[in-house]
Structure 1
Amino acid sequence: MLISVQALRALAAWAVVCHHFMQIFFDFHPSGPVGRFFTEKGAVGVDVFFVISGLVIYLSTVDKDIPAGRFMLNRVIRIVPAYWLYTLVMGLLVVVAQPLLPHQVVDWQSFVLSLLFIPSENPGGYGLYPTLNVGWTLNYEMLFYVLFSMVFLFQQRLRPLILAAALFAITDVLGRSGLVSRFYANDIVYEFLLGIFVGVMYRRGWISERLWLPLIAIGAALFTIDHLQPAPRIINWGLPSAVIVVACISLEPYLRNYRLLKTMGDCSYSVYLLHVLVLYAGWLVSERYGVNPYLVFAVCVPVIALGAWLSYEWIEKGLYRRMKGWLDQRRASKEAALS
């Protein structure tokens, strides 16, 4: 994996952390320009995530004929264990901390649907959010994985077009007509296609190694994001996010020796899942003991970072390797028995 992409993944995760800090501690009422930026624009970290996800999935599967079931199984064992764990912890926190978290409600139906990546109305009454609120993005990720797994049935040159057609059918036909959940009627799903296009550019050598031009492009993209509302998402935030990803790839020669950036990128998924739990715990401490929110946040940041690193090492990487090794061993045994 490109160190530059890993670094950007880490920055995107921490932008979302700051966004949710403003939400949980200040109810999105910022007191300064930095707070305003993260309140209004911190969610763009999700857009960057989606572009990177399309890029990574494309680069990891290009020129490979992978059975759809194997692709999905690999994605499931990579994504699901950590998500299920933190969804369970969030459910327990909501139960234990009531009524201190009046807007957080959990019931068995929404909890099970959350685990199955099925969009449903949150019992707290604030929309189509799972028990672990940030999991809404994973519902889109799983849709992308399911559709991507199906394109392996077709020639490689046709796969992006077929995937685009499938996303269009679900988002702009089925979603907007009400035949599937309105959750999917969101043009944010097309950002996965932007990531695939970036992957095509990278594979064909269209992204050259530079310094000043990428930095200017990043500045222009951030300026655009800061001055535009998120809708239409694919245009106003998706395209600038793709520009940022391309620019960061151009900066790879200047970043490839910074192993810490790779580690931060490795931990970004756990940062994303874990941070709301830590922030809610910090908010409870702040409310009960009157501690300054920024002081609490200063404590939350290293807790999130350390917890995410442990989560990556023990759950994401460790459990994934054990499960994948066991599955590969079973597959090899079956193939040997049939030969």
Structure 2
Amino acid sequence: MQSRNIEYIQKLDHLRFLAAVIVLIFHAKVFYHFPSVKWIPILDQGYVGVSLFMVLSGFILTLITLGKDISVSSFYTNRVLRIYPLFIFVVTAGYFSTPEPRETAVSVDFMMSLLPFSNLARLKYGPFGGQLWSVMVEMQFYLLFPLLAFMLKVRGVTFYLFTILLMLTVRLSVFFLNGSVQEMAYFSIFGNVDIFLIGCMAGLVYRSIGNGVMPHYIWISAFIGMNIILAGLNRFGFSNSSMFWVLWPDVQGLIWATLIIAYLRSGRIVLSGMWTYFGKISYSLYAWHILVWMVVVRFLPTPFISPYVTGALIVLPLTVMLSTLSFYVIETPFLLLRSRYILAKSISSV
């Protein structure tokens, strides 16, 4: 569903779909418990798809609001209409799927899961909603964004850089204190705000470079670069206790930001319309793919050819079908209720 606040950029939906697919196929190793396939690094370490979603969020919001005044109340309303209907549906369905009688703690967990800071308690969001922790991190960024956009106006990009420096300092301090910082760097706003802000700054770069066409090899090189780094981390035994987690969110953000800018400025993409459609339903793809994996593994305890092939040829098509229904039944009615939150007379154009 196109935003009322910015002219539609088709290729952004391509990248949303890419992020969803990376995460979906990555979870093959979770459900089939097979050893890492290190010759496909982006799938073996597909959690990086989450960071692509987050860079995209910062990027898009900056394109929309740069040089504009916004209605904060309308901005928050739009974010709630975008995020919460599907989130509540998936979480509620999950909790109601648990066997009777349900303990009182289940209802407490359910109510807590609806709060924007619910990832603090590391709730499970029901039996098939665990991946939704990242949606709540996004909500936290949305709560901060009007202030961040204001500070960009009055202090410039320096404020974003100093914010990232502060987060790096906090994560480094926590590493020295606890000997590990992976939980903070990956599951909280203290790691992901860097990624969002890098996305915001990518939006500034995108606006400043004009409308020239970039060769495809630039975004392809960024994608290959991510794979090379992931392969290197695997080679050297990258673990949850590694000090590199202090810096890893920023490295991911920079690579994805490069890919986004280059991809959006590249030439024509084959089957663009299909990727666009899949990108439009990417939130539903992300929200429902765990349930589909659970059902597939129940009926197919041994993977078809390989776990990754099972993910690509069985889980992905089934999730697309479910997500199509979900998008039109759950998401669309609320998306139609969104309004413009840009107060300037002219709409953003890219």
* Cα distance, 1:20–1:147 mapped onto 2, change above 3 Å: same
Alignment of 1:207-222 (within 5 A): 208-214=212-218, 215-222=220-227
* Cα distance, 1:314–1:61 mapped onto 2, change above 3 Å: farther
Deviations 1:274-333 (A, max 9, x none): 10111112222234xx67575864333222011112222232233220x336x99xxxxx
Look up the match of 2:35.
29
Report the count of equivalent residues: 306
Aligned residue among 241, 258, 264 for 1:243: 258
Q: Does 1:8 pair with 2:12?
A: no
Report the aligned-residue RMSD: 3.5
Q: Which runs of 5+ in 1 are unaligned?
A: 99-105, 329-339
Contact 2:65–2:149 under 8 Å retained in 1: no
State the alpha-carbon separation in 1 of the partners of residues 287 and 333 from structure 2: 17
Contact 2:119–2:188 under 8 Å retained in 1: no
One-letter amino acid matched to 2:79: R
Look up the match of 1:304.
319
Deviations 1:45-77 (A, max 9, x none): 111111111101111222221122221111111
Residue 250 of structure 1, CA deviation = 2.7
State the alpha-carbon separation in 2 of the partners of residues 162 and 191 from structure 1: 15
* Cα distance, 1:92–1:167 mapped onto 2, change above 3 Å: farther
Q: Which segment is superposed worse, 60-69 or 167-176?
A: 167-176
Alignment of 1:106-255 (within 5 A): 107-119=106-118, 129-131=124-126, 132-151=129-148, 153=150, 156=153, 158=155, 160-162=157-159, 184=188, 186-205=190-209, 208-214=212-218, 215-228=220-233, 229=238, 231=245, 232-251=247-266, 253-255=267-269
SS of equivalent to 2:64? helix
Deviations 1:148-184 (A, max 9, x none): 1224555725365545656766785599779xx9553
One-letter amino acid matched to 2:232: H
Deviations 1:84-125 (A, max 9, x none): 1111122233x1499xxxxxxx82222222111323576xxx
* Cα distance, 1:255–1:156 mapped onto 2, change above 3 Å: farther
Residue 267 of structure 1, CA deviation = 1.0
* Cα distance, 1:257–1:152 mapped onto 2, change above 3 Å: same
Contact 1:208–1:250 under 8 Å retained in 2: yes
Contact 2:152–2:160 under 8 Å retained in 1: no
* Cα distance, 1:153–1:235 mapped onto 2, change above 3 Å: closer
State the alpha-carbon separation in 1 of the partners of residues 208 and 31 from structure 2: 44
Look up the match of 1:87.
91
Q: Does 1:20 pair with 2:27?
A: yes
* Cα distance, 1:91–1:128 mapped onto 2, change above 3 Å: closer
Residue 212 of structure 1, CA deviation = 4.5
TM-score (norm 1): 0.76
State the alpha-carbon separation in 1 of the partners of residues 188 and 120 from structure 2: 13
State the alpha-carbon separation in 1 of the partners of residues 265 and 152 from structure 2: 30
Q: More relative contact order in 1 or in 2 (CA 8 Å, sep 6+)?
A: 2
More helix by share: 1
One-letter amino acid matched to 1:247: A
State the alpha-carbon separation in 2 of the partners of residues 20 and 72 from structure 1: 32
Contact 2:112–2:118 under 8 Å retained in 1: yes
One-letter amino acid matched to 1:227: G
State the alpha-carbon separation in 2 of the partners of residues 33 and 218 from structure 1: 15
Residue 211 of structure 1, CA deviation = 2.0
SS of equivalent to 1:65? coil
Q: Once the two structures are aligned, what percentage of the paired residues are identical? A: 22
Look up the match of 1:101.
none
* Cα distance, 1:10–1:185 mapped onto 2, change above 3 Å: closer
State the alpha-carbon separation in 2 of the partners of residues 175 and 227 from structure 1: 22
Look up the match of 1:265.
279
